[in-house]
């Protein structure tokens, strides 16, 4: 995925998270209830997209520890 594609997807997931947090998790229309995705799943995908964005941008998303023999 390109940086622009990742940013577009990230914006959509952040908007979905906002809607859920504002209390719009589900709605009823003509007697049928519609539920948005699970908040945990959305947050997981946001985390994944941020990590992918960092890789595309050449950044390290998480600290890396390197040990060269011997004791710490």
In a domain, 62, yes or no: no
Predicted pLDDT of residue 29 = 86
Domains contained in the chain, number: 1
DSSP 65: -
DSSP 38: P
In a domain, 67, yes or no: no
The CA-atom distances, in angstroms, between 5 and each of 12, 24, 29, 53 are 11, 26, 32, 10
In this prediction the pTM is 0.68
User: What is the chain's pLDDT, residue by residue, as a tens digit (72 residues)?
Assistant: 899 999 999 999 999 999 889 887 777 889 888 887 789 999 999 999 999 999 999 875 556 666 677 665
| 25-45 tens-digit pLDDT | 777 889 888 887 789 999 999
Domain span including residue 23:
3-56
In a domain, 61, yes or no: no
In a domain, 65, yes or no: no
In a domain, 71, yes or no: no
């Amino acid at each position: 995925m390109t940086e622009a594609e990742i940013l577009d997807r990230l914006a959509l997931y952040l908007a979905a998270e906002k809607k859920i947090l504002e209390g719009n998790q589900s709605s009823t229309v003509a007697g049928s209830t519609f539920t948005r995705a699970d908040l945990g799943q959305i947050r997981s995908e946001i985390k994944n997209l941020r990590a992918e964005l960092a890789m595309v941008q050449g950044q390290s998303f998480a600290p890396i520890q390197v040990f060269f023999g011997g004791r710490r």
